[in-house]
Amino acid sequence: MEKILSLVRRCVEDYDMIQPGDRVAVGVSGGKDSLVTLAALAKLSQFYPKPFTVEAITLDLGPVDGGEGMDFAPVAAYCEELGVPFTLLPSEISHIIFDIRKEKNPCSMCAKMRRGALHNALQEKGIRKIALGHHFDDAIETFFLSLFYEGRISCFQPVTELTRTGITQIRPLLYCGEGMVRGAAQRNHLPVVHNPCPADGYTKREEVKTLIADLEHRYPGLKERVFGSMQRLPLPEWGPIEHRRRPYAEEKEKDIL
């Protein structure tokens, strides 16, 4: 976790993600990415020169087709261990999307409904900043998804100001590769919750992930070059910052294996 923490701090500083006195909510889905983000920020808050606090918010999407849904009790217990306030938001998003609307391509609508529910909860709590668990590989995949399916050179931003809601989204895990995140979650025995979503593993993102893995095998270092080009182009809000460093070091291969 020390390597993750170092890269998270570097990313936070490079993009000026956290200000003194911030209350930072972490959107905890129960997956490895959001749990590692939570663990890293909770640790960072203990010594970062800009004082800030962390709390976890989990949106329960509800059961699908009469199923049991997800059990977030281990996540709640982990938050208690970290000393981080935990909020569980019940919803019927899965029921609406899969049982009522029977969406064939549910991901876009699900994402919009999740964002709406989370932002409403943040506004009710008076929280203006939320940390999302998007990592290095997510950024590369989103770049290619936009290129292949929308014909745009685009990606989400490291820091996104949502002017309509007054909420700021930050992505402090951007310098960490997925293999590194997975390894950290396993070594630290984080309480990853299985996602029962019927669409899990059958999305365009999964197709692009497989394609990128094949290209990376044929052209080693491709992902780092793409990430670097996103910073140098620059994409909106990805522009060069003085003393910007590489997203993650050579030991990534060791962490992935």
Q: pLDDT of 157-210, one tens digit each?
A: 999 999 888 999 999 999 999 999 999 999 999 999 987 776 665 678 889 999
Predicted confidence at residue 106, as pLDDT, reads 75
Report the Cα 120 to chain-centroid distance in Å: 19
DSSP state of 3: H
**Mean pLDDT value across residues 11-17:** 93
Predicted confidence at residue 158, as pLDDT, reads 94
Residue 239 — very low, low, confident or very high, per pLDDT cuts 50/70/90? low
Report the Cα 74 to chain-centroid distance in Å: 19
**Pairwise CA distance, residues 131 & 121, whole Å:** 14
**Pairwise CA distance, residues 255 & 215, whole Å:** 20
Residue 235 predicted with pLDDT over 60:
yes
Q: Contact, 178 vs 205, CB < 8 A?
A: no
Lookup: tokens for 17: 């993600």
Bridge pairing between strands 129-131 and 159-162: unpaired
Alpha-carbon dihedral of residues 132, 44, 49, 128, nearest 10 degrees? 30
* E strand or H helix that includes residue 56: strand 52-60
Residue 67 — very low, low, confident or very high, per pLDDT cuts 50/70/90? low
**Pairwise CA distance, residues 125 & 56, whole Å:** 12
Per the prediction, the chain carries an average pLDDT of 87
Residues in contact with 132: Cβ distance below 8 Å, sequence separation at least 6, in sequence order: 27, 34, 37, 169, 170, 171
* E strand or H helix that includes residue 59: strand 52-60
Residue 186: which of 95, 112, 255, 254 has the closest Cα?
A: 255
